[in-house]
Structure formats: C-alpha cells, structure tokens
Amino acid sequence: MLLGFYRLLTVLCEPLIAAYLRLRLRRGKEDGARFGERQGRASLPRPQGRVIWMHAASVGEAISFLPLAERLQGQNETTVLLTSGTVTSAALMARRLPKGAMHQFVPVDCLVWVRRFLDHWRPDLALWAESEFWPNLLLEAQMRGVPLILVNGRVSARSFRRWRYFPGTIGRLLSAFSLCLGQTPEDTERLRRLGAVTVDYCGNLKYAAQTLPVDEAEDARLSGVIGGRPRWLAASTHAGEELLAGETHRALQDRHPGLLTIIVPRHPARGADIAGQLTGMGLCVARRSAGDPVTGDVDILIADTMGEMGLFYKVTPIVFMGKSLAGQGGQNPLEPARFGAAVLFGPHMDNFAVMAQAMLAAGAAAEVADGAALTRAVDERLSDPGRAQHDGMLARRFALKQASVLDSVMNRLQPWLAGLEANDEGA
C-alpha cells in the first residue's frame, strides 16, 4: 500500500521534484553539465556486451566499490557502470574508476526518470552498496528481471528501529535482492530480521579498499619542503575539530620546535573559514588551494584540495581521523593504516564501530576522549618516534590482513556472474 502510493506520488509530483533539482543546481549541489543524468537521460551510449550496474550513494560507498569494480571491469566483455548521487563522488570516480568503467549520476527516484535510465542502460546485474533502498529503482529493476545484490549492506540501530514500524514496506524492498551481504554480523542479523530472504556475511568490503593514490612528484616536492620538521595530520575534519587541532598545535609547538600541523577538512570549501579561525588563534596558516608557500614559520597547512589525501597520509607519521570528536560517525581509519601511520580517533566512530574496535584490540589504533587527550597522544608519539613507527607497523599489518575480504565477496557473487556467462552462451 505505502509503496504503491509512493510510486504514484513520484509520477504526480514530477514537476515539483524537477523544480527542487533546479534549486539544488543553483546552490551548486548538482552538476550543470550533466544535469540530465539526474532525470535519467544518459550522457554516454550503452556499451556492447554485459553491463554490471554498481550503485553507491556517495564518496565512502563509491570508494569501497573500487576494488570490486577493478575485478569486474572488462571480464568477458563486461562494462562496469557506477552510479552515485553527489558531485564530489563523481569527481573522485572520474580519477579513480578502472579504465573502461563508466560513471553516471543516479536518477532521482521518480518513476518516469528511473524507467528512462533502465531503458537506456539495460543492466544485466546490479550491485548496491550499504543502505540505498530507493523503491522505484529497486522495484523497477526487479520487474525487468535484473538480479540485485546488496553488497556491504548496512542497517544502523536507528534505521532498524524505524523500519520495524513498516515491516511490509522494508520486507518488500529487501525481497528485491537475490542476496544481501551484511557489512557486519550485526547488520547481517538486522537485514534478516527485516525480511531479507538470502543473507550472508563475508566481511566489510571497506577493508579491501585500494590504497589511496599518491602523486610521486608532488610527494617528493612536499617532502623536500617539509624536510625534517615534526608533523602530524588531522584528516577529514568536521567543524570544531580544526580548533582542537589548533589548540593541540599551540600546546606542543614549544616542546617540538618547528612543529607542522596539517589539516585536511572533509569539505574543502570550508578552507577559508578554517584559516580565519586559526589565524584568529595567533597561528600562521597556509592554504594549499591558494598556493601559499609552506615556509618555516607556517604553523598550520590547510590542505583544502580534492584527491590528495593519500599524499598527506604518506608524508605524516601520526594521523587523527576526524568526525570522531566534534562530529559523529567517524571516517575510515584503514586509509592511513595502509600507509603505516600511527592512527588516532575519537569515541564517535559509529560508522566504523566494528573496524575501530578491531583496530583497538590489535593495537593498530588508539582512542582519544577529547582535545586534551588528543594533545597528549600526539605529544607522546612526537616525543618517541620509535613508538609512532611501531604503532604504524601494527596499523599497516592490520590493514594488509583484511585484503581477503574481496576474494570472499567475489566467491559469493560467482553464481550470478556465472549465470551471466551462461545467458550469453544460450543467446
């Protein structure tokens, strides 16, 4: 009943949905050059052969899909089509998708636009990431006979409680999936209790994500500029955490002469505001997006650019992961671990709870309760480079052990991949 009403409403409200999209476009939240994709109008031709459609909501989900896309792209005339909904994720995929793979913006879940998208792309298999349960996209694909598999399925405790009020709706949506692979054992059990038919757990695909790329020439240049200065990194920070980083710097700059604090904000557009806040604290700030030189008197380097996170993980031995003190949910701590950095994060790691606990248990990361604890943890590792190196070694060892997750996921997908090949032979 609810799903039928929803589907009808998306037809009747198409003009209103289109107006809302145009408003987002004016606010810079949509790509003007590719605006039609959000209404199901493809900007690329469908390739010959099979198309495996991989859908990821935003940056984090898209990154977790990259190793899987690498495995699938080009196998037996298969093309990977990855869709996502944000401008940031599209820019990232343009740089990092494997050769031959395609990116399109996912159509907004308006029935007419969804049908237009599916008419053009005619996917042979669909892999969905985490918790993108858009009714029209799911049900229309199922009605066309497209096998749907949920990969790294995630249902937060809050979402689980909400969905329990609508068992028929979530049960119908989950029934569209031929297989649901939970991100954690807890997610797997929640999916089963909400009505998923075939559920399994292979591990967290985010563990298998590729090491972030590094421009080697820029690495050599930046390393030369920084030289032997003691340094640490606050990565993917959210509002409030930059001030904590500035306070940590002020507390430690006399104990560690030449200290350089690097801040990579989660949203680069905040760079100018962050610089103003830190300058107001009496700190000398350089912004990478502005091309400011990192001279010896610079206290804080704000790396407010896109696609360079790997570079800063590589040049800093101590990394604090943001959105875990002032924010909620945390960021992926495996990213710096792959570079052998000593990893720190706050108590709010809900989005990576299982991973964070596993890293803590293995000595591959340390938790800091607040700004004062962050200052102490950074001070301890700057004062004892041997400890920082040992912590980084444990972090990297932990990250390398997780690579088998991708093989497990591929093995679980094999019946559907073999089915595509059988369909080709029978055609």
Q: Which residues are catalytic?
A: 61
Which of 347, 357, 348, 344 has the alpha carbon at shortest distance from 391? 344
CA 256 to chain CA centroid, nearest Å? 34
DSSP 268: G
Strand arrangement of the beta sheet that strand 260-265 belongs to = 285-287, 300-302, 260-265, 231-237, 318-321, 342-345, 366-367
180/273 Cα distance (integer angstroms): 42
Alpha carbon 416 to its chain centroid, in Å, reads 26
Closest CA to 305 of 277, 271, 279, 332: 271
Interhelix angle 167-174/185-194, rounded to 10 degrees, is: 110
Give the length of the chain.
427
Identify the CA nearest to 379 among candidates 248, 235, 227. 248
Strand partners for 104: 83
Residue 319 phi, psi dihedral angles, 5° rounding: -130, 125
CA quadruple 178, 2, 140, 170: dihedral, nearest 10: -20
CA distance 310 to 318: 14
Q: Find tokens 């990821």 and name the residue.
A: 56
Long-range contacts of 370-376, Cβ-Cβ distance < 8 Å, separation of 24 or more? 370/325, 370/346, 371/244, 371/247, 371/248, 371/325, 374/244, 374/248, 374/320, 374/325, 374/344, 374/346, 375/247, 375/248, 375/251, 375/252
Task: Enter the tokens of residue 364.
Answer: 């591959």
Ramachandran class of 27: left when φ > 0, alpha when ψ lies in -120 to 50, beta otherwise = alpha
- Count each helix (H run) and each strand (E run) in the chain, helices first: 18, 14
Nearest-5° Cα angle at 104, 102 to 105: 155
